[in-house]
Structure 1
C-alpha cells in the first residue's frame, strides 16, 4: 500500500509544525514529567485525530498509539507513585495547544497528524534513550529501557507512512487456525516482543507446544506449534498477528 497524504493548507501545516529540540531529563522527576506529558499527548492527539483521518493505515496507527501509550502511561504512573514522584494530571500549554489545533482543523488531518507524530516520537526516543543510559533512578531507567523498543517501532512506522513509502496493512486479521493463510501477514517490522512474550501470544491464540522460536531478519518470530493435533510452522509479527503455515 502506498500512502499519499493530502497536503494540508499552509495555515494548518504551519500551525501544527511540532518541532522541538531533542528532549533529555536530568532528574527522575524531570523524566516523569516529560514522559507523562508526551504519553498523554500521544493518546489525546490520536483520539482527536482518529475520526478525521482518511487513510486506513493512519487510522490504525492512531489506535495503536492510544493502546500502547495508554498502557505505558499506566505503568509510568505506578512506578512514579512507588518512587514518591509527581505525575502531571494534564498536558502543558504547548502540547494542549497542538491538540486544540488538531481538534479545530477540518478533516482530513492526515498530513499534519503524521508530521506531529514524527516530531513527537523523535522527542520521545531521545528522552527515553537518554534516561535509559544516564538516568538517576533504577526503576525508571528500567522502564525507559523496556519502553524504548516500542517507541522506536512507532517511529519507524510513522516514518514510512509520512514518507509515502509502502506500509503494512494492519487491518488484516490474524490467522487463528492452521488451515487458513493470511497473505498480508506476518508483517515485517521492528519487533519488541521478547521470546517469552512471543510464546505467550501464540499460546493465547490457541496453540500449544510452542518451540524453536527465533526472530528472523525481518523482525518476525518463527517456530513450530501444535493445534488440533497437528504440528505446524508458526509466526508472530510486530503487530501481534499469529500466522500458521509457511509464510
Structure 2
C-alpha cells in the first residue's frame, strides 16, 4: 500500500514538474508581449490597432503641447477635447488589444515623434501648424485608417471598435477644419 502511494505521489510530482518545465520553456518576448502562438489577432487587426494607438498618442502629445504653447482660447479648447477623447479611446483600444493577447504601442511612431518635435520648435505660427498637422492632417489619416478597418478587419470586436469610433473621428475632423479656418483667418 505504501509503495502504491509512493508511486502515485512520484507520478503526480513528475506530471506537475513537466507542466512547470513546459511553462518555463515558453519564450519571453521583448516588452512582455504574449508569444505569437497565443496571439488571437491576424496581422491586419494587429496593424490597425498598432497604427490607431500610435495615431492617438500623437494627437494627445500634440494637443498637450498646444495647451502649453498656444495663447488662442479656441485652440486650447480644441486641444483639451482631443486629449480627453483620444485618451478615452486609447484606454478602450488598450483593453481590447490586451483581451486579444496584443500589447499596443505606448508612444507615437518615430515619424510622428519627429513631426511633434518639429511642431514643438515653432513659436510663431504654432497655432496654424497645430490646426493643420494635428487637427486636420492627423484626423484625415485616422478617418481613413478607421474606415478601412471598419470594412476590412475580420476580428468582429476590433471591427466593431473601428465602426463605433469612426463617427467621433469624423466629428473631430470637421471641428479641426473649422479651427483651421479660424486660425488661418486670424493670421492674415
Rounded Cα–Cα distance in structure 2 between residues aligned with 1:41 and 1:72: 13
The structure in which a higher percent of residues are helix is 2
Rounded Cα–Cα distance in structure 1 between residues aligned with 2:136 and 2:106: 24
Aligned residues: 141
- Counterpart residue number, 1:132: 150
- Counterpart residue number, 1:10: none
Alpha-carbon deviation of 1:101?
1.4
Asked if residue 33 in structure 1 is aligned to residue 50 in structure 2, the reply is yes
TM-score, length of structure 2 as denominator length: 0.71
- Counterpart residue number, 1:48: 65
Alpha-carbon deviation of 1:74?
0.5
RMSD: 1.7
- Counterpart residue number, 1:64: 81
- Counterpart residue number, 2:180: 162
- Counterpart residue number, 2:92: 75
Alpha-carbon deviation of 1:57?
1.1
1:74-93 equivalences under 5 Å are: 74-93=91-110
Which consecutive aligned stretches of 4+ in structure 1 deviate over 2 angstroms post-superposition? none
- Counterpart residue number, 1:123: 141
The structure in which a higher percent of residues are strand is 1
1:42–1:69 CA contact under 8 A, matched in 2: yes
TM-score, length of structure 1 as denominator length: 0.54
Rounded Cα–Cα distance in structure 1 between residues aligned with 2:106 and 2:146: 20
Structure 2: segments with no counterpart, 5+ residues: 1-42, 184-188
**Structure having the higher Rg:** 2
Secondary structure at 1:84 match in 2? coil
Rounded Cα–Cα distance in structure 2 between residues aligned with 1:39 and 1:161: 19
2:58–2:107 CA contact under 8 A, matched in 1: no
Rounded Cα–Cα distance in structure 2 between residues aligned with 1:32 and 1:86: 9
Cα deviation, 1:69-124, whole Å, max 9, x if unaligned, reads 00000000000000112301222110001111122222551100000120000000
Rounded Cα–Cα distance in structure 1 between residues aligned with 2:157 and 2:124: 42
Rounded Cα–Cα distance in structure 2 between residues aligned with 1:136 and 1:74: 22
Rounded Cα–Cα distance in structure 1 between residues aligned with 2:46 and 2:121: 33
- Counterpart residue number, 2:128: 111
Cα deviation, 1:194-227, whole Å, max 9, x if unaligned, reads xxxxxxxxxxxxxxxxxxxxxxxxxxxxxxxxxx
Rounded Cα–Cα distance in structure 2 between residues aligned with 1:112 and 1:103: 10
Rounded Cα–Cα distance in structure 2 between residues aligned with 1:62 and 1:145: 24
